[in-house]
Amino acid sequence: MNKAILEVTNLKKYFPLGGGFFKTPELVRAVDGVSFTMEAGKTLGLVGESGCGKTTVGRTVIGLYKPSAGKILFEGSDVFSAPKADKIEARRQMQMIFQDPYASLNPRMTVGDIVGEPMDIHRLAKGRKQRQERVQHLLNLVGLNPDHINRYPHEFSGGQRQRVGIARALAVEPKFIVCDEPISAVDVSIQAQIVNTLEQLQEDLHLTFLFIAHDLSMVKYISQRVAVMYLGKIVEINLSSELYAHPVHPYTKALLSAVPIADPPLERKRKRILLEGDVPSPINPPPGCCFHTRCNRAIPICKEEIPEMQDLGNGHLVACHNYE
Ligand code: SF4
């Protein structure tokens, strides 16, 4: 692996729930001991069912949430214990593209101000003229008409609004971007275009992406490595091509068995693994392996011991007592 831009170690994020004067709040264990490393200029896909904690990982990594425990090193420095000036600089270099482009853009601001505001905060443009030129350059870069700088978000389509969100993230010249389900709120016909734009930008600007999604086929397309999450934990990480061809964790197998194959004879033969039961509550996760209540390969130890992450070589990691 080349130089790591981001190293996340044993990251935990718990949210208090309820509680009162005489009552200790319960804890929602949204992220419960997640570790991964990201290589500069590459994409790591983060997948899993809704509520598995993938968005919380992204938000905690870029500092929208304070971690409950764990370490986040960005280019070798601890993002949370760094001096204030370094923290601000790290924040500039770590940006996020949000899932819902309509909710994340201020409807009262023009696109010029939406994209220009982060530049103002970080003092990246000298004067109005340079600011306008930079905004127009960014609009052009993400495939929008630079003459639309004075339009409002409601004057754009869903796909165009997501492009505005991408331009806003790029406005402060980041190195690392969390793409939080960036295509799930746009039409299917537009999704591939957005993904192609992101890929082109990655190549041109040497960006690193943490790509969060539940559309497994799109993740396969854009990511070099993929991490699979279940109930706040990463259960398997591998190279994208390897993970899709040879998953070993029972949960990864079940998840991938639901991905349609674009080959009718193969698709007809495909055997779907149906998971039984519901995802347990992150307030009170089951003891041992948190997947044992739904796993078809569970053995007695699974109910007692949390499986350690095992290194199977070539960057393939799996947390399972009885993987195949
Ligand atoms: Fe299934 Fe046990 Fe592996 Fe958990 S540790 S995934 S319960 S086999």
User: Rounded distance, CA 38 to CA 63, Å?
Assistant: 17
Give the pLDDT confidence score for residue 126 in this predicted structure: 85
Sign, Cα dihedral of 92, 93, 97, 98: negative
Burial 235-265 (b: 16+ CB within 10 A, else e): bbbbebebbbeebbbbbbbbbbeeeeeeeee
User: Rounded distance, CA 251 to CA 214, Å?
Assistant: 14
Q: Residues enclosing ligand 1, CB less than 6 A?
A: 250, 289, 291-292, 295, 297-298, 302, 307, 320-322
Strand partners, 77: 74
Give the pLDDT confidence score for residue 15 in this predicted structure: 94
Query: Do 210 and 46 contact (CB within 8 A), yes or no?
Result: yes
Q: Give backbone dihedrals phi and psi of 190, rounded to 5 degrees, phi first.
A: -95, -20
Give the position, in ligand 1's atom list, of the atom nearest the Cα of 303: 7
Pocket test for ligand 1, best of 251, 291, 306 (most atoms within 8 A of CB): 291
Pocket test for ligand 1, best of 292, 303, 305 (most atoms within 8 A of CB): 292
User: Rounded distance, CA 45 to CA 38, Å?
Assistant: 10
CB half-sphere exposure, 101, CA atoms < 13 A: 28
User: Rounded distance, CA 11 to CA 288, Å?
Assistant: 19
Pocket test for ligand 1, best of 299, 301, 303 (most atoms within 8 A of CB): 299
Atom 3 of ligand 1, nearest CA residue: 320
Query: How many residues can be counted in the chain?
Result: 324
Query: Do 63 and 33 contact (CB within 8 A), yes or no?
Result: no
The Å distance, Cα 7 to ligand 1 centre, comes to 26
Give the pLDDT confidence score for residue 217 in this predicted structure: 80
Number of Cβ atoms within 10 Å of the Cβ of 322: 14
Give the position, in ligand 1's atom list, of the atom nearest the Cα of 307: 5
Tens of each residue's pLDDT in the chain, 324 residues: 567 899 999 999 999 987 777 788 889 999 999 999 999 999 999 999 888 999 999 999 999 999 999 999 999 888 888 888 888 888 899 999 998 878 889 999 999 999 999 999 988 888 889 999 999 999 999 999 999 999 999 999 888 999 999 999 999 999 999 999 888 877 888 888 889 999 999 999 999 999 998 878 888 889 999 999 999 999 999 999 999 999 999 999 999 888 777 778 877 777 788 888 778 888 988 999 999 999 989 999 999 999 999 999 988 999 999 998
The Å distance, Cα 33 to ligand 1 centre, comes to 17
The Å distance, Cα 297 to ligand 1 centre, comes to 6
The Å distance, Cα 298 to ligand 1 centre, comes to 5
Question: Model pTM?
Answer: 0.91
